[in-house]
Amino acid sequence: MDSESLTGSGTAAVPTRLTDYQRGRLTFSWEQARQQLDGLPGGRGLNIAHEAVDRHVTAGHGDRLALRCIAADRTVTAITYTELARRSSRFANVLRALGVGGGSRVASLLSRCPELYTSVLGTLKNTSVFCPLFPAFGPAPVEERLRLGEVKVLVTTDELYRRKVAGRRDRLPELEHVLIVGPSPDPQPGTESFDGLLADASEEFTIPDTDPEDMALLHFTSGTTGTPKGAIHVHEAVVAHHATAGFALDLRPEDVFWCTADPGWVTGTSYGIIAPLTHGVTLVVDAGEYDARRWYDVLASERVTVWYTAPTAIRMLMRVSPRGRPPDLPRSFDLSALRFIASVGEPLNPEAVRWGQEILGLPIHDNWWQTETGCIMIANFAGTEIRPGSMGRPLPGVQAGVLERGRDGRALVEGGRVHVLDEPGAEGELALRPGWPSMFRGYLHAEERYRACFADGWYLTGDIARCDADGYYWFVGRADDVIKSAGHLIGPFEVESTLMEHPAVAEAGVIGRPDPVVGEVVKAFVSLKPGYDPDTRLARDITAFARRRLGPAIAPREIAFDQHLPKTRSGKVMRRLLRARELGLPEGDVSALEEAQ
């Protein structure tokens, strides 16, 4: 796998900031990256919303399209940078008039509508803190996050408020204002009209002095491994959002960029709002559901040039147009504007990269990062060699390392020291040297948990990886998911990726099931592509296929069919839940589960 490589259809020939950097034509430091941004007029600090919106207006680019918001029914609202600056200033004035000041928390529970973007940017202009919540969360997860975040203002719709918040409002004493977007024929007590307040507010707003260390965003992690943590991000993060979008996503002002992640997840904020706007691109926002035809249609009709999505979405497209059959669906759309696809959130199986090359004729660039890191850390960059199955290499300004592990599977800390594994191919905990601008500044109300993330000058990511001789990082699994079997440490990703190469398999989740003889045996849960029946013959065939590829020590002993693998709302397979269900253990925190209500 390590030796296989792709350069992507023509992109290698296109000079990017990164190829310039690699050839030594461009130097980089975070301080230089900081200089690329303006700062508030009069040297009054650094504010994300100013860099994302107002700066372009001052520079005379206000007529450019900032957003093209596509509603579920396909109506499009186009908003220029000037208009976005005005709307966000109005919302900042609304907050000020409500007595909501710097540092106060404002949350959204909204689908991807224009008002969501107005709210985020207006909140940041007012130096309040934005906490985006995923609208498909059920009442309990919403309440939990509103309480944890000490949210003072909630922006939502009448329907979402009635269904998810109204019944629990008396348990949320800190929630002072609920602003309702859109029609509210019979307004609920304790709510105000967002549109009414906005209409009455002035569109002139002077952003107050903003310290780059002022808290800007409160982002809950996906909850894949347990209770979601509230990661704190500050205004300085915008330096990293901007620089990494230049390197890993190769954004230029003429780009039409579409990020499918909901702002309820960090990707949907860092790269679904902030980073692209700082580059002055046109951002496509689609409120529609996952649907292959709709997505191809949006890519084609909007002439999207760079698309940022997740492995779960790519696997959905693969299910519809498998390799080896004529790609009728994608071929019926004109995707010629698209330069490349980037993917994040979960390991990107090599099969997915090959599929992209064969069926779409496009490179798919894997990116690795976390809610905590705030921005892309490791990537198969635009314009460089892509190694399918690898996350890529650390971006400029990012220092990564692989640390030796102890018995618990996490980095071994002895006398406050860790041991960096230098030999190529050695597996260990992926760690990063803190110091980049979007590094989280804490977990809200969980100081201990935050401190436990650091040792000997490293930030410990909780992921297991190996680094090859050329500096490419390969994901093995989350430390909690790694399987110990007969003296082997087995990464679920490798097994899942192999299973996906079987023609019948659409997706896979692999766990270790305790076994008295070997410690743990590998068990795989797989979902099938259309046209395949889940019977014992197929299970035997898949097992034999995996044994041939992986050898008997690593191949799954057992296969179970499951068309609905448990996933977080952000599309990650929840292996801990598969394991808990298998063993009849308590399911733990499932607030981020897809069907959680």
Count of residues binding ligand ATP (CB under 6 A)? 26
Q: Is 159 helix (H, G, I), strand (E, B) or coil?
A: helix
What are the structure tokens assigned to 139, written together?
A: 């009442």
Query: What span, in angstroms and rounded, lies between the C-alpha atoms of 210 and 127?
Result: 7
| DSSP assignments along 388-426, one per residue | TT--BEEPTT--EEEE-B-TTSSBP-BTTB--B--STT-
Site track for Mg ion across 182-221, x = CB under 5 A: ---------------------------------------x
Q: Is 492 in the site for ligand ATP (CB under 6 A)?
A: no
Site track for Mg ion across 214-253, x = CB under 5 A: -------x--------------------------------
Tell me the window of 94-102, 338-346, 413-421, 541-549 that interacts with ligand ATP (CB under 6 A).
338-346
What are the structure tokens assigned to 266, written together?
A: 């960090």
Instruction: Work out what residue 249 binds among ligand ATP, Mg ion, none; the CB cut-off runs from 5 to 8 Å by kind.
Output: none
Indicate the residue among 256 and 386 with the shorter CB distance to ligand ATP.
386
Indicate the residue among 221 and 244 with the shorter CB distance to ligand ATP.
221
CA distance readout (Å), 425 to 195, 463, 473: 56, 15, 9
Indicate the residue among 70 and 464 with the shorter CB distance to ligand ATP.
464
Of residues 342-361, those binding ligand ATP (CB under 6 A) = 344-348
What are the structure tokens assigned to 224, written together?
A: 């894949």
Query: What span, in angstroms and rounded, lies between the C-alpha atoms of 266 and 5?
Result: 30
For residues 129 and 217, the answer to whether their CB atoms sit within 8 Å is yes
Q: What is the CA radius of gyration of the chain?
A: 24
Q: Is 270 in the site for ligand ATP (CB under 6 A)?
A: no
Count of residues binding Mg ion (CB under 5 A)? 1
Indicate the residue among 55 and 478 with the shorter CB distance to ligand ATP.
478
Tell me the window of 52-60, 205-213, 217-225, 501-509 that interacts with ligand ATP (CB under 6 A).
217-225
**What one-character DSSP code corresponds to residue 299?**
H
Among 156, 370, 438, 498, binds ligand ATP (CB under 6 A): 370
Residue (of 486, 496, 475) closest to 542 by Cα position: 496
The DSSP H or E segment spanning 476 is strand 473-478
Query: What span, in angstroms and rounded, lies between the C-alpha atoms of 288 and 415?
Result: 52
Among 368, 443, 459, 474, binds ligand ATP (CB under 6 A): 368
Indicate the residue among 468 and 515 with the shorter CB distance to ligand ATP.
468
Indicate the residue among 118 and 373 with the shorter CB distance to Mg ion.
373
Residue (of 364, 387, 248, 371) closest to 311 by Cα position: 364
Using alpha carbons only, give the angle 9, 12, 13 rounded to the nearest 5 degrees. 100
Residues in the chain, total: 597
Residue (of 220, 270, 278) closest to 374 by Cα position: 270
Of residues 567-586, those binding ligand ATP (CB under 6 A) = 570, 572
For residues 299 and 284, the answer to whether their CB atoms sit within 8 Å is no
Instruction: Work out what residue 551 binds among ligand ATP, Mg ion, none; the CB cut-off runs from 5 to 8 Å by kind.
Output: none
Q: Is 475 in the site for ligand ATP (CB under 6 A)?
A: yes
Indicate the residue among 276 and 350 with the shorter CB distance to ligand ATP.
350
Query: Nearest approach, Cβ of 386 to ligand ATP (angstroms)?
Result: 13
Query: What span, in angstroms and rounded, lies between the C-alpha atoms of 324 and 212?
Result: 52
Q: Is 366 in the site for ligand ATP (CB under 6 A)?
A: yes
Query: Nearest approach, Cβ of 480 to Mg ion (angstroms)?
Result: 10
Q: Which residues contact 551 (CB under 8 A, 6 or more apart)?
A: none
3-state secondary structure 14-59: CCCHHHHHHCCCCCCCHHHHHHCCCCCCCCCECCHHHHHHHHHHHC
Indicate the residue among 160 and 348 with the shorter CB distance to ligand ATP.
348
Site track for ligand ATP across 380-409, x = CB under 6 A: -----------x------------------
Query: Nearest approach, Cβ of 136 to ligand ATP (angstroms)?
Result: 16
Indicate the residue among 242 and 365 with the shorter CB distance to ligand ATP.
365
Query: What span, in angstroms and rounded, lies between the C-alpha atoms of 517 and 285?
Result: 52
For residues 558 and 526, the answer to whether their CB atoms sit within 8 Å is no
Query: What span, in angstroms and rounded, lies between the C-alpha atoms of 95 and 98?
Result: 5
Query: Nearest approach, Cβ of 365 to Mg ion (angstroms)?
Result: 21
Indicate the residue among 119 and 367 with the shorter CB distance to ligand ATP.
367
Indicate the residue among 180 and 400 with the shorter CB distance to ligand ATP.
400
Among 269, 371, 485, 497, binds ligand ATP (CB under 6 A): 371
The number of angstroms, rounded, from the C-alpha of 50 to the middle of its chain's C-alpha atoms is 23
Please report, to the nearest 10 degrees, the dihedral formed by the alpha carbons of residues 31, 35, 39, 44 taken in order. Answer: 60
Q: Is 83 in the site for ligand ATP (CB under 6 A)?
A: no
Using alpha carbons only, give the angle 106, 117, 62 rounded to the nearest 5 degrees. 130
Indicate the residue among 83 and 372 with the shorter CB distance to ligand ATP.
372
Site track for ligand ATP across 218-247, x = CB under 6 A: ---xxxxxx-xx------------------
Query: Nearest approach, Cβ of 370 to Mg ion (angstroms)?
Result: 5
Query: Nearest approach, Cβ of 122 to ligand ATP (angstroms)?
Result: 25
Residues of the shown chain interacting with ligand ATP in the complex, contacts defined by CB under 6 A: 221-226, 228-229, 344-348, 366-368, 370-371, 391, 461-463, 475, 478, 570, 572
Residues of the shown chain interacting with Mg ion in the complex, contacts defined by CB under 5 A: 221
